[in-house]
Structure 1
Amino acid sequence: MQSDKRKNVYLVLVIAFSVMTISLSFYFYQVFFSPNTLLESEQNYMLKIGSNDSYKTVSAKLYDDKVVNDLLSFGFLAKLLDYQENVKPGLYTIRPKMTNLELVKLLRSGKQTPIRVTFNNVRTKKDLAEKITANMEISEDQFLALVQDSVYIRKFDFDEETIMSMFVPNTYELWWNTSAEALFDRMYREYNSFWTDTRKEKASLLGLSPKEVSTLASIVQAESQKADERPRIAGVYLNRLRLNMPLQADPTLVFALGDFELKRVLNVHKETDSPYNTYMYAGLPPGPINLPDINSLDAVLNAENHSYLYFCAKEDFSGYHAFAATLDQHNANARKYQAALNAAKIY
């Protein structure tokens, strides 16, 4: 009888142990290998982990945005695999129905998803700061603090007037949490990559430095949105530079005035005393008046060789220009355009 009781107790213990083992095995399998992310979604989730974020911050984002279904099991595995003490900042792509193991391994690895940074149609440093940091962790103010720091930008061989030349408009792949300093380093490398020996030689043959090419390209770009006529406009300004004639470029006056809504430059505007007033001062202004794109830079480097010294907008408002080699021809073209402006009541 006593022996039967012992057998029954042993059997109960064996069954209980087996049930517990099976339960624990099932639980651990669930923790490691069962889908636990975005169970009701088919869209990826982009997780941004800031440079100062902790595991608590990360888990709160995953919970609040309903990314992780079972936060407890995720937290258990994160602790087991030492992720809670090794949070790595960055941008991570979380796919639907990832397991806890896949998710923790991704976050622990630091394998970020790169972002695309594009900036163009930029006039001022503030414009650049807004566009270049739009999808990055750094703020506009952090970028502006560096781009306006005359001591800092000197390490790249630029000054406050020419620093915009260092940023060549394009689309770049970067990490979301790239620091402002690392961003400047990257843009400097891209600048040096753009200025190949061939481009430098072309600039030298024009009697210009790369920075001066950028300055002239910014004027050419402001003068015309038509890429096919930019080399001809560049040729006009190069002819003027060779003759030491003032460039007399209206966009430089607009920049000097800081009024980018100005539709028509008048004689009173030409009295503005500014190094950017190319009616008052011959030669190139101190720096670019916008961020010239690659097309505009190459338009200067591959400028047309012609005898034109003047141009003005065509009276048909097509965006193209009428070119002239003599002042008489130019005045005739200008009268047509001024008449069209008056007829359109643009004063």
Structure 2
Amino acid sequence: MVLSVQACELEEQEAIWIRIPPGDPVEAVAESLAAHEIVRSARAFERFARMGRKHLGIKPGMYPFRARTPMGKVLAMLREGRPDAKRIRVKEGVWLSELMPVLGRTLDIPIDSLKLAVRDSALRAELGTAAETVEGYLYPTTYYVPVNATPLEVVRQMVDTFEARWRPEWDDRLAALNFTRHEIVTLASIIQGEGPLDLDRPLVSSVYHNRLSSNQRLQADPTVVYALGRRGRLYNKHYEVKSAYNTYRVSGLPPGPICQPSYHSILAALYPPETDYYYFVANAAGQHVFSRSYREHLNTIRAVRDSRSAADSKQ
């Protein structure tokens, strides 16, 4: 029987992963393929596989399929075989420093080797990144990584997924915005860091585009958190941390992304709505309230604080 099935979701369902353990009979394989609509008929696939006793060559492993794959192609993949794989989830907004220990534990790979892989000069040159690592380019989704994969192969699988999700028309959009791809991915990572709500991302993007256009500092809290190297509440002293990533101290964008941005964050960075917003603050519900002027922003902050205090007093 099939032990696990995972639909690998990018912006759309791209592949259905099925693990076939050693000794699985062809009947069970056929039933599983049909149940997940990879083939139309379990009985037809079983008959097809038994022709010439080809079913005896089916190998165990983790296989990616698309719905309605021709039976000949399915059987060829099963006979060719794939190494067993381990499941890895790259979460939206995760830092490389947070991801490395997870990869190391799950794949039994030394963290030092992974740190070298994410700094690979050839890989960074292909991406056109000016940063020291491939931070921002490990696309957030679910991966099945072969158990014998090298550190560089693991990283490249994730970078290749980023490249596959990058749309050709976005290159034209970069030219219209006068941004490089690296700059947009960096901006997208800051937008990602501002919160989990996709609904807010376009307006957050508009604020940062407006600030960049008017030569104002971004003053983005997520960049300070990243510069500190730890997540948590920020205090006044933290905004003075000396780092090229601290956008309260430096103008423009930081040297590179601060996390792995989602598809929606990249989209927001590329297509900001036209607004005259320059400020925002999160309310008690986690949604952002946007302001056009600093005075309006201060009033909004007071209103948000009063609302939170009133809510706390009722508890």
**Taking structure 2 as the reference length, what is the TM-score of the superposition?**
0.68
Partner of 1:282: 251
Aligned mates of 1:269, 1:113 — CA distance in 2: 46
User: 2:237 matched to which residue of 1?
Assistant: 268
* Structure 1 segments unaligned to the other structure (5+ residues): 1-41, 46-90
Q: Determine if contact 2:205/2:272 at 8 Å carries over to the other structure.
A: yes
Question: Given the alignment, which residue of 295, 300, 308 partners 1:333?
Answer: 300
For residue 7 of structure 1, what is the aligned residue in structure 2? none
* Residues 1:203 and 2:182 are matched in the alignment: no
Corresponding residue of 1:19: none
> Structure 2 CA distance, aligned partners of 1:43 and 1:227?
35
Go from structure 1 to structure 2 and tell me whether the alpha carbon gap of 1:198 and 1:105 turns closer, same or farther (over 3 Å shift): closer
Match of 1:230 in 2: 201
How far, CA to CA, are the matches of 1:220 and 1:204 in structure 2? 20
**1:18-52 deviations in whole A, cap 9, x for unaligned?**
xxxxxxxxxxxxxxxxxxxxxxxx7869xxxxxxx
Mark the CA change 1:161 to 1:342 in structure 2 (over 3 Å): closer, same or farther: farther
Do 1:94 and 1:103's aligned partners in 2 also have CA atoms closer than 8 Å?
no
The 5 A counterparts of 1:1-347 are 93-95=21-23, 106=59, 110-113=81-84, 115-132=86-103, 135-136=106-107, 138-149=109-120, 153-154=124-125, 156-161=127-132, 163-262=134-233, 265-314=234-283, 317-340=284-307
One-letter amino acid of the structure 1 residue matched with residue 151 of structure 2: A
Separation in structure 2 between the aligned mates of residue 103 and residue 134 of structure 1, nearest angstrom: 35
Q: Distance in 2 between matches of 1:161 and 1:184?
A: 15
Q: Identify if the C-alpha distance between structure 1 residues 111 and 278 changes in structure 2 by more than 3 Å, giving closer, same or farther.
A: closer
Provide the TM-score with structure 1 as the length reference: 0.63
Aligned residues between the structures: 253
1:341–1:257: structure 2 CA closer, same or farther, 3 Å change rule?
farther
Q: Judge conservation of contact 2:86–2:144 (CA < 8 Å) in 1.
A: yes
Distance 1:142 1:260 in 2: 25
In 2: Cα distance, 1:249 partner to 1:104 partner: 57
Write the distance in 2 (CA, Å) between the matches of 1:303 and 1:320.
18
Q: Please tell me whether the aligned partners of residues 187 and 253 of structure 2 are also in contact (alpha carbons under 8 angstroms).
A: yes
Which sections of structure 2, spanning at least 5 residues, go unmatched?
5-18, 27-54, 61-78
Report the secondary structure of 1:323's partner residue.
strand
Q: Give CA-to-partner distance per residue, 1:260-317, whole Å, 9 cap, x none.
A: 022xx33322222211221111111111121111111112112221111111112xx1
**1:296 maps to amino acid:** S
Give the counterpart letter for 1:300 in structure 2.
Answer: A
Question: Conserved in 2, the CA contact under 8 Å of 1:218 and 1:292?
Answer: yes
Deviation at 1:174, TM superposition (A): 4.1
Q: How far apart are 1:200 and its partner, in Å?
A: 1.6
Label 1:338 to 1:266 Cα distance change in 2 as closer, same or farther (>3 A): farther
Larger radius of gyration: 1
Do 1:246 and 1:283's aligned partners in 2 also have CA atoms closer than 8 Å? Answer: yes
CA change 1:242–1:175 in 2 (3 A) is same
CA distance in 2, matches of 1:171, 1:283: 33
Supply the AA of the counterpart residue of 1:273: K
Contact 1:118 1:132 in 2 (8 A): no
Which residue identity does 2:292 align to in structure 1? A
Instruction: Tell me the SS of whatever aligns to 2:179.
Output: coil
Letter in 2 for 1:238: H
Counterpart in the other structure of 2:37: none
Moved more, 317-326 or 142-151: 142-151
Output the aligned Cα RMSD: 3.3
